[in-house]
Structure 1
Amino acid sequence: MVSTRAVPNLTFRRLRGRRSPGEFAAAVRRAAREIGEQVACDARYIGRVEAGEIRCPNYAYERVFLHMFPGLTLADLGFSARESVRGRASRATADAAPAQVALPNPTPMYSDTGDISEESDVRRRAFMTGGTASVAAASFGIGAAPTAAVPGPRRVGEAEVSALEEAVRRIRLLDDRHGADGLYRRAAQPLRTAYALLDAGTATRGATAGRLHASAGELAISVGWLAHDSGRFDDARSHYAEALATARVANDPGVEAHAFCNTSFLARDAGRHREAVRAAQAGRRAARDLGSPRLLSLLALREAGGWAGLGDRTDCEQSLGQAHTLFERGPSDSDPEWMSFFGEPELEALEAQCRAALGDWSAATRHAYRATVLQDPHFTRNLALYRAELAVDLARSGSLDEAAAAGHRVLDLMDEVQSSRIQGMLAGMVRVLLPRRRTAEVGAFLDRHASTAATAHRA
């Protein structure tokens, strides 16, 4: 029997140089935008390439890589010939045990991150259909069947686990671009399928079992975040608890830290500030041996947010100082894949929220402005969020004309972003501005906001 063990792509690893996988993934996304491509590249994808799991990139990635390294061929980048890889894919598909259910191709703007080719990698995809903000169920090797149709017990293999991991990436990608409101209900189906696989896959052992539990936990957190961001706090709390339980069963401190991180954020938003502090501290204990200063920095910021909500300026300042010290240690190969959003813009935005909670509106405005300037416009949802934070802080500080101007910039993005969080922030700002509606700039914003809200309600 011919061995199919992956051969590491050392050539590609050398091309990455001193950059972390996350930093290199960001460079790939920037290069894609330069040539009109959009790829869902993250640190895990780079890791799979370097590990030899992706022997030949799909056509979108091929165009991006050749743009990044002009004059080189795919072979020069350490990849195999597409024809040889496609032949292996055809044989693998023919040997696959479960019959595949035909599903629609993904929309072109969401390029496939599979490891063989667009034509043959159906089982690894979480399909995107119906426009910019809808998610169809991932196939997971059993098609788009409801969870009741999952056979049991059965061995869950590489194809199912990879499809689940891809579903997590796709949901995060769409949330980054469009916000949570249009995604939450549809994303619940892949989550039900994931836990059905956990129940059915009693024969799964070893690394595959670990990846299955980790991916199910991460998917629960992603769906919980969609509920959280769209104002469904009770649903979010349930999903985060489910993720935490999965992490504990699998003894996975990475998923545990992530679940506590999001639980802390939710508790802060729900006004349970002491719970926010304790959840962040629990997350820091879970993450202490993971080798990721950036993760510890984010958890310190979550703790700072809880202290700010309690009005404890001393402990808030101490946590903020720890967050900055940890952040300045830089990225690491151990940084979790889900933390791709956490860069300097998010650091500034979270500090702005702390300053606002303490009533330091001038400082909050300064940090929120830096977040808007530093944010990559590719992440539309975060840019809209940071602009909304700036608008609110300006309004609270008494700079009403500037707040209205910032509010217009938020509305400029609301055709692309569906987020109850952002809508709620704008509604709070409107209440502050209403007494000054006779001012031309303020009145124009209030009229536009009312018109936008009415249109959204009719839709």
Structure 2
Amino acid sequence: MASSSANHRPPPPAHPRRAEPNLAFRALRGHRSPGEFAASVRRAAREIGEQVACDARYIGRVEAGEIRCPNYAYERVFLHMFPGLTLSDLGFTAREAVRGRGARGGVNPPPSHSGTPASAPAERAPRVPGARTPHLSHTDEESDVLRRAFIASGSATAATASAFGPLGALGPLDQARARTGVPGRGSGRPGVSEAAAVEEAVRQIRLLDDRHGADALYRHAAKPLQAAYALLDAGTVRRTVSDRLHAGAGELALTVGWLAHDSGRFDEARSHYAEALATARVAEDPALEAHAFCNTSFLARDAGRPREALRAAQAGLRAARGLGSMRLMSLLTLREAAGWAALGDRTGCTEALVRAKSLFQCGASAADPEWMSFFGDAEVAWLEAQCWSALGDWRRAARFAHRAAALQDPHFTRNLALYSAELADDLARSGVPDEAAAVGQKVLDLLEQVQSSRVHTMLAQTIRTLLPHRRSPVIGAFLERHANTVRRA
């Protein structure tokens, strides 16, 4: 195989292009972290009816100069965010000067501001020797086909059905799986386009989870995950592609595992997390290993295995030690604090909370993993609330849960419902049932938009606490509405 690859190795390019940092775009971000700036991009997109899968990694790639010209969706969003500026002012290269992208079949983007036809070429990742020509033309910044396939409109069920259907039926994921199922056939190998498709699937699933919750998503997620692991079985020509595929497949396993976790399928979640951990070990990928241990710790705590939660968090800290991300260390230390709290060790929990908050105060950095875009002040407050709740300090737990709900971006509906459900339960247990019922009503409002078994389970616990107070008009109205909601479900 090695000799065959060598015989067909293309000559090196005469003038390889070196990415130059986009300092103009970096200046526009200012003091905001990449994750915070990505959230502002997504908000601006919604203002003009666009939807982009923007995250901290995308912002980092723009600032590093890897994305020389954004696709049309991002172009509209950036020009909306910075009125009066041109793409050149934002540090991008003119579309007509970026070589390598063929016309998109079946997609008719609008002309650029420079008047270049829609079929003008733009940048594409380098071709892997021997790899097939993909049906989906993937750009370095984002696949328009996948982006449009994942636009969430209407109910959560309709959104996820339209999202996952194309992933299973089109493009490199499904075709790679079909090819690997027939030994000896097909000369192609997974390349950069296939690796990018796996990474894109992870981003889109996470975006949909933020908006709709896990229940409506989980049953659609198996096919993309199977296809991603089929790519690994197919083998690759380049080590860099192999590393990306391992990381992408592992992250997809963790994402699907989270959908199972959040929808109450703990055994299935544990299996997915174990698969991701095995992938990390095979690929010698400490970042993926740390993520897998982080999720495993969270699951173990929820499943009533506090000792396992503590050990997994500490293993994650060991894996993350050399990665340079203080925010990742902070999250793993919060997982450790939760393990101590579940064991009833107040001293161990308090010490871990102090370390976690100190690490968090170090701030965001370029070393922070892409998947940690959710980890901000609101999440820190919620995780601390859970610790105090586990220790039976309901008033202190309610204080932090209230802070989490107040800080949460309303766009992330599932997290807002989660934090509010925690607040309602802490208020009910701390002796203010009327306030708990009022917050519970807000949770029911949010549950009309998201589907999360975790939130329903938390709310059911609150209901049991409030039953002795059902003669109160406020509490009675909440209990009746909840009962009607359960009957309709």
Counterpart of 1:68? 81
Deviation for aligned residue 1:89? 2.7
Give the residue type in structure 2 aligned to 1:71: G
Does residue 1:178 correspond to 2:212, yes or no? yes
Counterpart of 1:97? 132
Counterpart of 1:316? 349
Does residue 1:430 correspond to 2:457, yes or no? no
Asked whether the equivalents of residues 101 and 139 of structure 2 are also in contact (C-alpha less than 8 Å), the reply is no
Pick closer, same or farther for the CA change 1:208–1:343 going to 2, 3 Å: same
Counterpart of 2:230? 196
Deviation for aligned residue 1:44? 1.1
Asked whether the equivalents of residues 257 and 272 of structure 2 are also in contact (C-alpha less than 8 Å), the reply is yes
Deviation for aligned residue 1:431? 1.1
Deviation for aligned residue 1:131? 2.7
Deviation for aligned residue 1:147? 3.5
Does residue 1:131 correspond to 2:158, yes or no? yes
Give the residue type in structure 1 aligned to 2:438: A
Counterpart of 1:106? none
Asked whether the equivalents of residues 243 and 259 of structure 1 are also in contact (C-alpha less than 8 Å), the reply is yes
Give the residue type in structure 1 aligned to 2:159: T
SS of match in other structure, 2:224: helix
Deviation for aligned residue 1:29? 2.6
Counterpart of 2:193? 159
The correspondence for 2:71, drawn from 58, 68, 73, is 58
SS of match in other structure, 2:195: helix
258-267 or 9-18: which moved more?
9-18
Pick closer, same or farther for the CA change 1:218–1:436 going to 2, 3 Å: same
Pick closer, same or farther for the CA change 1:300–1:3 going to 2, 3 Å: same
In structure 1, distance between residues paired with 2:262 and 2:179: 31
Q: Please give the residue correspondences for 1:400-411 in structure 2 after superposition, counting only pairs within 5 Å.
A: 400-411=433-444
Asked whether the equivalents of residues 172 and 222 of structure 1 are also in contact (C-alpha less than 8 Å), the reply is yes
Q: Deviations over 1:162-196 (max 9, x none)?
A: 11100000011111111100111111111100101
CA root-mean-square deviation: 2.6
274-283 or 12-21: which moved more?
12-21
Counterpart of 2:388? 355
SS of match in other structure, 2:384: helix
Deviation for aligned residue 1:355? 0.4
SS of match in other structure, 2:54: coil
Asked whether the equivalents of residues 127 and 138 of structure 1 are also in contact (C-alpha less than 8 Å), the reply is no
The structure with the larger Rg is 2
Does residue 1:344 correspond to 2:377, yes or no? yes
Counterpart of 1:7? 19
Asked whether the equivalents of residues 126 and 163 of structure 1 are also in contact (C-alpha less than 8 Å), the reply is no
Counterpart of 1:110? none
Counterpart of 2:101? 88
Does residue 1:445 correspond to 2:478, yes or no? yes
In structure 1, distance between residues paired with 2:407 and 2:46: 17
Fraction of identical pairs, as percent: 67
Pick closer, same or farther for the CA change 1:288–1:442 going to 2, 3 Å: same
Deviation for aligned residue 1:46? 1.1
Does residue 1:142 correspond to 2:142, yes or no? no
32-41 or 446-455: which moved more?
32-41
Asked whether the equivalents of residues 89 and 116 of structure 1 are also in contact (C-alpha less than 8 Å), the reply is no
Counterpart of 2:55? 42
Asked whether the equivalents of residues 125 and 163 of structure 1 are also in contact (C-alpha less than 8 Å), the reply is no
- What TM-score, normalized by structure 1, do the two folds share? 0.89
Pick closer, same or farther for the CA change 1:35–1:114 going to 2, 3 Å: same
Structure 1 alignment gaps of length 5 or more: 103-112
In structure 1, distance between residues paired with 2:159 and 2:142: 23
Deviation for aligned residue 1:274? 0.5
SS of match in other structure, 1:416: coil
Q: Deviations over 1:85-142 (max 9, x none)?
A: 587333779x98346389xxxxxxxxxx954787xx5478874576334431536843
Q: What number of residue pairs does the alignment pair up? A: 442
Give the residue type in structure 2 aligned to 1:169: R
Q: Deviations over 1:327-352 (max 9, x none)?
A: 11111111100001010000000011
Asked whether the equivalents of residues 134 and 172 of structure 2 are also in contact (C-alpha less than 8 Å), the reply is yes
18-27 or 427-436: which moved more?
18-27
Counterpart of 2:282? 249
Counterpart of 1:367? 400
Asked whether the equivalents of residues 301 and 319 of structure 1 are also in contact (C-alpha less than 8 Å), the reply is yes
397-406 or 122-131: which moved more?
122-131
Pick closer, same or farther for the CA change 1:335–1:238 going to 2, 3 Å: same
Structure 2 alignment gaps of length 5 or more: 1-12, 104-120
Asked whether the equivalents of residues 134 and 193 of structure 2 are also in contact (C-alpha less than 8 Å), the reply is no
In structure 1, distance between residues paired with 2:434 and 2:286: 47
In structure 1, distance between residues paired with 2:368 and 2:82: 26
Q: Deviations over 1:335-377 (max 9, x none)?
A: 1000010100000000110100000000000000000100000
372-381 or 44-53: which moved more?
44-53
Pick closer, same or farther for the CA change 1:449–1:16 going to 2, 3 Å: same
In structure 2, distance between residues paired with 1:184 and 1:364: 30
Pick closer, same or farther for the CA change 1:307–1:45 going to 2, 3 Å: same
